Amino acid sequence: MKLLFLGTGSAKCKKIPEDQIPEGARRCSSMLIDGTVQLDVPIHTYDFLEKRGINPASVTDIFLTHSHDDHFWKETLLRYAKAGGRKLNFYCNAGALSCLGLTEEEMSLINIVTVEAMQTFEAAGMTVTALPSNHIAGKEEQTLHYVFEKNGKKLFYGLDGGWLTGKEWGYLYKTAKPIDGAIFDTTCGEQPGNFRIGTHNTIPMVRLLVDAFKENGVIKENGKLISSHIGPHIHAVPAEETARILAEFGVIMAYDGFEIEI
């Protein structure tokens, strides 16, 4: 699996238009798998793909983690839907639909597939399992993490969310392991008392998660551990310092445009 990070920032990053984003700044978090499968559809992704010389029409499937507007931007989704000359596949929790603001006409442009937590299904040439994340969005919505399996490789995508729910840890520990890559929410940096701690990770929390993944064989010995959903205004230190701290326990800090293969 080839991963391209289209954005690695937190909610505050949505306020800057693409043409005004300075070099090295972070966009709202999103990721592309093998050039066709996208995780979340925030405001910047379509323009960022074009800036990198990638045709957005190549995106065939979009998986939504939750309905917050730094992960879903309706106008951007509709641009993807109109770009490909075919129906875009869009996967989300059923409870998220009422939060997305899509009209019946707009929904007709998209092949909407609703998924529930702990459901395993085939999509985009992969086996996908939706897991219940520890995050809060719409009133009836279950926010999601995902495990993707393709060509013998397994990837855990864990944005947003604080820690792991019992059900998703049980799946990772009893069923999915060993996985080849894991992407962790790292919104809060070295702020263990930050009020976001209930729904986002601090660096100390990521350290404990990494220890648990390694000690319990959830991640392969040579598996890739990656940090994303960075809140630059919360970390309050230069990105180089965050990267150094994470590297001390084997985690790579992603940045916009970061590419890696697992």
pLDDT, position 12: 77
Distance in angstroms (rounded) separating the CA atoms of residues 65 and 54: 23
Fold of 2-17+25-261: Metallo-beta-lactamase; Chain A (3.60.15)
Compute the average pLDDT of residues 165-171. Answer: 98
Domain boundaries, the chain: 2-17+25-261
Residue 13 has pLDDT above 80, yes or no: no
Compute the average pLDDT of residues 20-44. Answer: 94
Name the pairing type of β-strands 144-150 and 153-158: antiparallel
Average pLDDT across the chain, whole number? 95
Q: The tokens 């309050």 sit on which residue?
A: 236
- CA atoms 250, 254, 260, 262: torsion sign: positive
Distance in angstroms (rounded) separating the CA atoms of residues 78 and 152: 33
Compute the average pLDDT of residues 47-72. Answer: 96
Report CA 27 to chain centroid distance, whole Å: 13
pLDDT, position 205: 95
Least reliable range by pLDDT among 24-28, 220-224, 254-258: 24-28
Confidence of residue 16 (pLDDT cuts 50, 70, 90): confident
Confidence of residue 233 (pLDDT cuts 50, 70, 90): confident
Least reliable range by pLDDT among 30-44, 169-183, 233-247: 233-247
pLDDT, position 18: 82
3-state secondary structure at position 197: helix
Sheet containing strand 30-33, edge to edge, reads 110-115, 88-93, 61-63, 37-39, 30-33, 2-7, 259-261
* Phi and psi, residue 55, nearest 5°: -75, 120
CA atoms within 13 A on the CB side of 97: 16
Residue 90 has pLDDT above 80, yes or no: yes
The string of pLDDT tens digits covering residues 137-149 is 999 999 999 999 9
pLDDT, position 260: 98
Kindly give, in sequence order, each residue whose CB lies less than 8 Å from that of residue 53, ignoring residues fewer than 6 positions away.
none
Distance in angstroms (rounded) separating the CA atoms of residues 146 and 43: 21
pLDDT, position 139: 93
Confidence of residue 191 (pLDDT cuts 50, 70, 90): confident
What DSSP character marks residue 231?
-
Distance in angstroms (rounded) separating the CA atoms of residues 42 and 75: 9
Residue 20 has pLDDT above 90, yes or no: no
CB atoms within 10 A of CB 61: 20
Confidence of residue 237 (pLDDT cuts 50, 70, 90): confident
pLDDT, position 24: 85
Confidence of residue 192 (pLDDT cuts 50, 70, 90): confident
Compute the average pLDDT of residues 68-94. Answer: 95
Residue 232 has pLDDT above 90, yes or no: no
The string of pLDDT tens digits covering residues 92-119 is 999 999 999 999 999 999 999 999 999 9
pLDDT, position 250: 98
CB crowding 191-204: b at 16 or more within 10 Å, else e: beeeebbebbbbbe
pLDDT, position 177: 97
